[in-house]
C-alpha cells in the first residue's frame, strides 16, 4: 500500500497545511510510504510532488488517497474519480462568497467555485468523509454524503510547538504596561468579524475607565486591501488609533507572547469551519469571549463565554466580567486546558485518526 495526500497549496503555518503534514507523518510512522501532492508549496521541509503525478504513485486498488478540500480544484475531483483504492476527503470548509462581495471579486469568485464543488465532492462515493467539525460534516451530509460514511476529526495543529516555544520577551514587556489587552488572532478577512471586534473594543473603552489595547495579529492580504482599509477607517472613526496594535505575519515567539500577555481573546468571526486559534488560547491560558457563529460553539464548548448576539456592549461587558471575577476566569481557564488535553491535543487526534483508518487499512 502507498498513501497520497492531495492538497492544492501546502504551507507550514496554514491550518490546512499543518493538518496535511501531520497526517503524512502519522502514515509514515505506520510504515506506509506516503507522498504529498500539490500545485505549490512554501515554508515546508518535506518534499512534495506535482499533483498530476499522484495517480501514478497511489492510484491502485490497494492505495490510499486523502484529499484536503478547502478550495475549488476541479483537477482533484477528476483524480479522485480515477482512483481505484481507498479514498478519503477531509473537508475544512469554504467561506461563503457573500462575505467578499464588497471587498474582492477575486475572492468571491474563488469561494463560489469552491462552494459549487461541494456537491461534486460529496457524490464521489468516497470511502470516508472527514469534517474538521460537525458543522462541516453537516454540510457534506446535506450535499449527499451518507451519514454512515462521515466522521468528525478536528485538524492537527502546531499548538504544542507554540506552547513549547520561547516567547518574545520584549513584546511581553511592551504589552504588560497596565493596559487591558484584547487579542484577535486570524488572517485579516471579511468573515473574521474585525469590524464587529472594533465595535466591541470601542464599547469597552467608552464604558470602562481604564487603559485598553486591541492586538490584531494576523496576515494582511494585499488582495483584501479594501477590507483592511475598512478596519482602519472604523478604528479612526472611534478615535482608537493609539489603542490598536497590528502585528502582520507574527513569528512563533510573538504569537506566544501575545497570548501570554493578553487578558482576553475576543473572537467576533461570523464564519469558521473549526478555528485553531481558539485551541491555541485554551492551551496557552487566555480567557475567551466569542460570537457563537458557525463551528465556534462546537470548538469552544464550555471553555469560554459565547453569545449568539453580536451586541458590542454585551461582549465588552463579558470581557469586563472576566477581568473582575477571578473565580470565573480561573474556572474558564481550567476548562480550556482540560478541553485542549482531552479533545484537541495531537495525541488524542492521532488516536482518532488511526481508529478511523483501521477499517480501510
pLDDT digits (tens, 9 = 90+) for 52-105: 999 999 999 999 999 999 999 999 999 999 999 999 999 999 999 999 999 999
Q: Tell me the residue range of the domain where 197 lies.
A: 160-344
Residues 86 and 65 sit within 8 Å (Cβ to Cβ): yes
> Residues 6 or more apart from 350 whose CB is under 8 A from it?
22, 26, 156
Shared domain for 145 and 177, answered yes or no, is no
Q: How far is CA 121 from CA 21, 68, 137, 177, in A?
A: 22, 11, 12, 51
Give a yes or no: residue 124 inside a domain.
yes
Comparing 38-47, 92-101, 174-183, 235-244, which segment has the lowest mean pLDDT? 38-47
Residues 152 and 166 in one domain: no
Shared domain for 196 and 273, answered yes or no, is yes
- What is the rounded distance in angstroms from the CA atom of residue 340 to the CA atom of residue 124? 34
Structural domains of the chain, count: 2
If asked whether residues 99 and 177 sit together in one domain, one would say no
The pLDDT score that the predictor gives to residue 209 is 83
User: Are residues 151 and 11 part of one domain?
Assistant: yes
Q: Where residue 360 falls among pLDDT bands split at 50, 70, 90? A: confident
- Cβ(157)–Cβ(299) under 8 Å? no
- Considering the domain architecture, whether residues 196 and 338 belong to the same structural domain is answered as yes
- Residue 201, phi then psi, degrees to nearest 5: -65, -40
Examine the domain organization and report whether 174 and 99 are in the same domain.
no
Confidence band of 249 (pLDDT split at 50, 70, 90) = confident
Give the predicted TM-score (pTM) of the model.
Answer: 0.96
Question: What is the average pLDDT across 337-352?
Answer: 98
Q: Which CATH number fits the domain that encloses residue 264? A: 3.40.50.2000
DSSP H helix total and E strand total for the chain: 15, 15
In three-state secondary structure terms, 293 is: coil
198-227 in b/e form (b: 16+ CB < 10 A) is bbbbbbbbeebeeebbbbbbbebeeebeeb
Residue 106 has a pLDDT of 95
> Do 202 and 301 sit in the same domain of this protein?
yes
46 and 60 together in one domain: yes
Amino acid at each position: 500500500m502507498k498513501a497520497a495526500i492531495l492538497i492544492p497549496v501546502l504551507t507550514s503555518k496554514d491550518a490546512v497545511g499543518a493538518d496535511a503534514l501531520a497526517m503524512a507523518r502519522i502514515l509514515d510512522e505506520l510504515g506506509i510510504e506516503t507522498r504529498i501532492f500539490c500545485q505549490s508549496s512554501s515554508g515546508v521541509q518535506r518534499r512534495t510532488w506535482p499533483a498530476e503525478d499522484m495517480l501514478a504513485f497511489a492510484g491502485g486498488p490497494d492505495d490510499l488517497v486523502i484529499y484536503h478540500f478547502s478550495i475549488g480544484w476541479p483537477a482533484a475531483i477528476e483524480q479522485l474519480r480515477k482512483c481505484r483504492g481507498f479514498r478519503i476527503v477531509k473537508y475544512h470548509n469554504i467561506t461563503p462568497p457573500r462575505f467578499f462581495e464588497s471587498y474582492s471579486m477575486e475572492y468571491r469568485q474563488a469561494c463560489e467555485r469552491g462552494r459549487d464543488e461541494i456537491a461534486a465532492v460529496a457524490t464521489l462515493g468516497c470511502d470516508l468523509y472527514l469534517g474538521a467539525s460537525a458543522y462541516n460534516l453537516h454540510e457534506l451530509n446535506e450535499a449527499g454524503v451518507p451519514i454512515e460514511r462521515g466522521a468528525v476529526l478536528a485538524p492537527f495543529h502546531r499548538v504544542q510547538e507554540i506552547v513549547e516555544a520561547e516567547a518574545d520577551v520584549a513584546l511581553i514587556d511592551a504589552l504588560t504596561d497596565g493596559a487591558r489587552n484584547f487579542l484577535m488572532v486570524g488572517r485579516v478577512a471579511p468573515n473574521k468579524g474585525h469590524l464587529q471586534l472594533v465595535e466591541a473594543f470601542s464599547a469597552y473603552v467608552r464604558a470602562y475607565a481604564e487603559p485598553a489595547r486591541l492586538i490584531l495579529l494576523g496576515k494582511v492580504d494585499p488582495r483584501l486591501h479594501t477590507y483592511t482599509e475598512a478596519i482602519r477607517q472604523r478604528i479612526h472613526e472611534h478615535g482608537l488609533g493609539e489603542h490598536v496594535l497590528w502585528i502582520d505575519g507574527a513569528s512563533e515567539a510573538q504569537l506566544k507572547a501575545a497570548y501570554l500577555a493578553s487578558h482576553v481573546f475576543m473572537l467576533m468571526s461570523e464564519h469558521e469551519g473549526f478555528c485553531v486559534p481558539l485551541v491555541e488560547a485554551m492551551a496557552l491560558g487566555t480567557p475567551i469571549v466569542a460570537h457563537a457563529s458557525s463551528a465556534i460553539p462546537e470548538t469552544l464548548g464550555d471553555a469560554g463565554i459565547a453569545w449568539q448576539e453580536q451586541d458590542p456592549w454585551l461582549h465588552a461587558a463579558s470581557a469586563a466580567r472576566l477581568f473582575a471575577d477571578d473565580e470565573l476566569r480561573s474556572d474558564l481557564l481550567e476548562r480550556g486546558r482540560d478541553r485542549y488535553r482531552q479533545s484537541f491535543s495531537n495525541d488524542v487526534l492521532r488516536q482518532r485518526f488511526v481508529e478511523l483508518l483501521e477499517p480501510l487499512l
